């Protein structure tokens, strides 16, 4: 058996017993007394079965709203055949030796843990069945389970899992091949609707998020950084700040000069700034208003987003600095002999993650031990980062996993954890560092601006025969694109269009960029799928039929690799969503249907948007239909929630969200300047998951990329005006 990231578990380590209950972890079974349940942080179990029948299942990966606190335990519970009503879900301790890599990103949590967690549940069920067979003196083959109960149909005997947990101590660990996983047709739990395990606590306002953590003797801190990203403090009115009411300390952290880069794995970067520590958060925020800092900006960013875009459009019209990324066939000949050629450029801007919970972290730094409480998406990497930064062994750094109020890729980096640790080391007490909303937005790792010059060659009969894409990418070092700004080789058009050329030009920018929900795909899908619609119109063909034809023959681009496009699955979702939306039906004037398809994060997703546009270019998105092949759906309720959220998030970004940079600083730093979609603007959303025999893929990201092209194409159908830049407010449209 293998762990989530391939860590082997020996049969010798897998099992061990003592007491009156059964615990299953990656290092073994342990028996537990019902009246003295263990601390999961001590035993690190996946499964604990108490003598009173309670089943405690640990969720190993961080939850930042994507629902893995429910989905991952559901996988274990399904194979264990546990009664979900008796299941208690807890967050696992951060322990990569036991659990492998614990992270939330790339829609990988379910996908990477699928086989591991199924095996864990099935193995526990097999041991319990063997315990029952031994106690009752009957063949194991005559026993079956119902939720949390073992039955012997021939005699009518029954026992709960709690009744049998202690007897399991006498059973040998099943040998390789002796544990059978369920067939999907036998699933009782997976594919159904299960309420999020944290829902009751959330609606009751229980303190379960990172921002809620409180420790005895804790103090509070704010950390002020240079608005011009990468600047460091030279001087500050610290004595004046220390004299203010409630202030315990104020001091400079020299930090690192220059803008950070998105390095989630190895970074120890800490931006220079001024820490203000007080007895409460309000005192720190009041004192912050009186803080005056002289900043050294000699190595800071001087970016201007208008200049960046001007450089990008200039680069599109030039071959200077252009490098070839991919080429197949004879693109020059294909374009020279084409019946029709189209060439257009597409652009997107910097945008913020804008998750609802600003960054926060509680840290306590002792001489030999560090503890932090944080809602990081990469808590294991936070441990590594602090170990390096503080020069302590990794085992001396304990990271407590706490639920996050949104992430979307923002919590992959751990710079706020490092800031909290340095402040706590200086103070000598537990410290809660709380970022303000303005900090969260000004010092984001933004979605990178992207620029594409697309060319398509159509044959005389309207077939796509040639494709060119000149990608212009921002770059801090002049050698490689900043995170999210590059071109990632795709199955389309690389493996479909016979004559292809992909090239790239780098332009300078030191504004930090990072992973924003469905990185790269979120912007490229808009350009690609919008341009394909444009080509369909130029060819005089229905967009749906043109898109089906472009996909080419029925095939999987790499058999067995869920990360590669399967054209059969792609056509299925396109067909399903257009049927659901009534594709081809007559619509009133100034109303249109738009289609978008995209494959990302192992999910095949197609969307149709129905919009209307009035004389003042006010856009109403009436309804969005979504069809997806995600393989086996784990929690239908959770998957629908993620897809609906992706549509709303994508529409919010499409409407008017943008971060403009002037003098190396973000101009929009709060929601009055960076508007989120409001409830009256949200469309009706219909989500359909197609039955599939494939293993599950994630649901957090693949539904976002098709939204922008679907809406943009619908606007064209309604008005005849093409949208080629995001947000659409740049082209005079307003979503109402």
Residue 166 φ/ψ, nearest 5 degrees: -65, -35
- Give residue 440's pLDDT band: very low, low, confident or very high (50, 70, 90): very high
Do residues 132 and 237 share a domain? no
Query: Which residues are registered as beta bridge partners of 596?
Result: 607
Do residues 130 and 233 share a domain? no
> At which of 203, 220, 255 does a domain end?
203
Query: Which residues are registered as beta bridge partners of 598?
Result: 605
Do residues 629 and 660 share a domain? yes
- Give residue 24's pLDDT band: very low, low, confident or very high (50, 70, 90): low
**pLDDT, tens digit, for every residue of 89-130?**
999 999 988 899 999 999 999 999 999 999 999 989 999 999
Do residues 193 and 233 share a domain? no
Do residues 189 and 248 share a domain? no
- Give yes or no for a contact between 633 and 696, defined as CB atoms under 8 angstroms apart: yes
Q: What is the pLDDT of residue 32?
A: 37
What CATH number is given to the structural domain containing 648? Answer: 3.30.365.10
**pLDDT, tens digit, for every residue of 673-714?**
999 999 999 999 999 999 999 999 999 999 999 999 999 999
Do residues 595 and 543 share a domain? yes
Query: What's the domain count of the chain?
Result: 3
Query: Is 259 among the domain residues?
Result: yes
Of 592, 525, 600, 531, the residue nearest 348 (C-alpha): 525
Query: Is 198 among the domain residues?
Result: yes
- Whole domain around residue 721: which residue ranges? 520-736
- Give residue 165's pLDDT band: very low, low, confident or very high (50, 70, 90): confident
Q: Where are the beta strands (DSSP E) in 375-525?
A: 397-401, 431-434, 450-458, 464-475, 499-508
User: CA separation (Å) from 183 to 128, 141, 188, 192?
Assistant: 20, 17, 11, 15
Query: Is 359 among the domain residues?
Result: yes
Query: Is 348 among the domain residues?
Result: no
Query: Is 433 among the domain residues?
Result: yes
> At which of 397, 423, 442 does a domain end?
442
Do residues 70 and 137 share a domain? yes
Mean pLDDT of 629-649: 98
Query: Is 572 among the domain residues?
Result: yes
Query: Is 310 among the domain residues?
Result: no
Do residues 193 and 222 share a domain? no
Tell me the two tokens of residue 626.
């979504």
- Give residue 167's pLDDT band: very low, low, confident or very high (50, 70, 90): confident
Classify the C-alpha dihedral 241-242-243-248 as positive or negative. positive
Q: Where are the beta strands (DSSP E) in 156-279?
A: 157-160, 219-225, 232-236, 247-253, 273-278
> At which of 183, 203, 223 does a domain end?
203
Do residues 226 and 183 share a domain? no
**pLDDT, tens digit, for every residue of 355-398?**
999 999 999 999 999 999 999 999 999 999 999 999 999 999 99
Residue scoring higher pLDDT (26 or 180) = 180
Do residues 216 and 198 share a domain? no
Do residues 122 and 269 share a domain? no
Query: Is 251 among the domain residues?
Result: yes
Do residues 659 and 714 share a domain? yes
Q: What is the pLDDT of residue 168?
A: 78
**pLDDT, tens digit, for every residue of 244-277?**
999 999 999 999 999 999 999 999 999 999 999 9
């Amino acid at each position: 058996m293998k762990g989530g990231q391939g860590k082997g578990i020996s049969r010798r380590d897998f099992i061990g017993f003592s007491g009156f209950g059964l615990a299953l972890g990656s290092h073994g079974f342990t028996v537990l007394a019902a009246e003295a349940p263990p601390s999961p942080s001590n035993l690190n179990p996946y499964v604990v079965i108490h003598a009173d029948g309670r089943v405690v299942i640990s969720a190993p990966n961080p939850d930042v709203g994507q629902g893995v606190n429910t989905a991952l335990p559901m996988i274990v519970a399904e194979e264990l055949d546990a009664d979900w009503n008796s299941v208690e879900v807890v967050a696992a301790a951060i322990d990569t030796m036991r659990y492998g890599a614990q992270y939330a990103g790339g829609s990988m949590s379910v996908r990477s843990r699928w086989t591991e967690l199924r095996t864990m549940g099935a193995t526990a069920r097999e041991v319990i069945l063997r315990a029952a067979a031994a106690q009752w003196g009957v063949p194991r083959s005559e026993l079956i389970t119902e939720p949390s109960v073992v039955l012997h149909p021939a005699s009518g005997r029954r026992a709960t899992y709690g009744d049998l947990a202690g007897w399991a101590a006498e059973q040998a660990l099943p040998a390789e091949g002796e544990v059978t996983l369920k067939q999907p047709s036998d699933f009782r739990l997976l594919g159904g609707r299960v309420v999020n395990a944290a829902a009751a606590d959330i609606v009751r306002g229980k303190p379960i998020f990172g921002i809620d953590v409180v420790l005895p003797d804790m103090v509070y801190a704010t950390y002020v950084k240079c608005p011009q990203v990468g600047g460091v403090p030279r001087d500050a009115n610290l004595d004046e700040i220390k004299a203010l009411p409630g202030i315990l300390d104020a001091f400079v952290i020299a930090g690192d000069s220059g803008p950070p880069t998105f390095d989630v794995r190895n970074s120890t970067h800490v931006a220079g700034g001024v820490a203000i520590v007080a007895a409460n958060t309000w005192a720190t925020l009041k004192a912050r208003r009186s803080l005056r800092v002289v900043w050294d900006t000699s190595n800071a960013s001087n970016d201007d987003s208008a200049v960046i875009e001007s450089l990008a459009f200039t680069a599109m019209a030039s071959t200077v600095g252009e490098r070839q990324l991919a080429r197949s066939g004879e693109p020059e000949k294909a374009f020279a002999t084409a019946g029709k050629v189209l060439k257009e450029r597409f652009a997107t801007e910097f945008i913020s993650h804008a998750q609802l919970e600003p960054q926060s972290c509680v840290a306590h730094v002792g001489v030999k031990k560090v503890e932090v409480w944080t809602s990081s998406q990469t808590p294991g990497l936070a441990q590594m980062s602090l170990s390096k930064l503080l020069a302590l062994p990794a085992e001396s750094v304990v990271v407590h996993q706490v639920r996050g109020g949104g992430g979307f890729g923002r919590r992959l980096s751990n710079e706020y954890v490092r800031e909290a640790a340095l402040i706590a080391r200086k103070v000598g007490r537990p410290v809660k560092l709380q970022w303000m909303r303005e900090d969260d937005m000004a010092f984001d790792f933004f979605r990178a601006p992207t620029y594409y010059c697309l060319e398509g060659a159509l044959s005389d009969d309207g077939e796509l025969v040639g494709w060119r894409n000149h990608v212009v990418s921002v770059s801090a070092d002049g050698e490689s694109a900043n995170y999210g700004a590059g071109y990632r080789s795709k199955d389309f058009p690389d493996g479909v269009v016979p004559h292809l050329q992909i090239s790239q030009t780098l332009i300078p920018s030191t504004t930090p960029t990072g992973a924003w929900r469905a990185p790269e795909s979120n912007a490229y899908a808009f350009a690609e799928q919008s341009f394909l619609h444009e080509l369909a119109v130029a060819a005089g063909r229905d967009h749906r039929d043109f898109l089906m034809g472009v996909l080419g023959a029925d095939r999987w681009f790499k058999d067995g690799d869920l990360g590669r496009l399967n054209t059969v699955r792609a056509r299925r979702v396109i067909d399903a969503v257009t049927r659901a939306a009534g594709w081809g039906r007559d619509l009133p004037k100034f109303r249109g249907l738009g289609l978008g398809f995209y494959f990302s994060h192992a999910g095949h997703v197609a969307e149709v948007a129905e919009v209307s546009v009035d004389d003042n270019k006010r856009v109403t998105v009436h309804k969005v239909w979504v069809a997806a092949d995600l393989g086996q759906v784990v929690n239908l309720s959770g998957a629908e929630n993620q897809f609906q959220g992706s549509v709303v998030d994508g529409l919010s970004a499409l409407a008017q969200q943008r971060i403009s940079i002037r003098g190396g600083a973000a101009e929009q730093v709060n929601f009055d300047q960076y508007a989120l979609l409001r409830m009256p603007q949200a469309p009706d959303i219909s989500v359909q998951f197609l039955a599939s025999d494939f293993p599950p893929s994630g649901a957090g990201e693949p539904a976002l990329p098709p939204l922008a092209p679907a809406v943009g194409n619908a606007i064209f159908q309604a008005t005849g005006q093409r949208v080629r830049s995001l947000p659409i407010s740049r082209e005079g449209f307003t979503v109402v």
